[in-house]
Amino acid sequence: MEIRVIEESKNKIVFELKGENHTFCNALKDMLLNEKEVSIASYKIEHPLIGEPEFIIETKGKEPKKVLEIAAKNLQKELASFRKAF
């Protein structure tokens, strides 16, 4: 997976996730929305066959990259727990 930052400010980041699809993006979006510092977490894929997911994250005071890192780690833990149970 490759991340390309499109726009970044104090409370907002827009980035592209090359090589990913709705499966991963929905899981990441849900983890982001579980974080209390996140006010907006969403993504879009312009074209279903050749489009790349474009995420937008807006936070309430916390650095968006930090929140993304926390959400990614939480997702990783949840997937490991699922794998162990399965």
How far is CA 13 from each of CA 3, 48, 56, 77, rounded to the nearest angstrom? Answer: 12, 23, 6, 24
Q: Specify the higher pLDDT residue, 14 or 83.
A: 14
Pairing type for strands 12-18 and 2-8 reads antiparallel
Whole-prediction pTM value?
Answer: 0.89
Q: Give the whole-angstrom CA distance, residue 36 versus residue 83.
A: 27
Q: Is the pLDDT of residue 1 over 90?
A: no
How does pLDDT run across 14-54, given as a tens digit for each residue? 999 999 999 999 999 999 999 999 999 999 999 888 899 99
Give the CATH fold of the 2-85 domain: Gyrase A; domain 2 (3.30.1360)
Q: Where are the domains of the chain?
A: 2-85
Sequence letter at residue 34: N
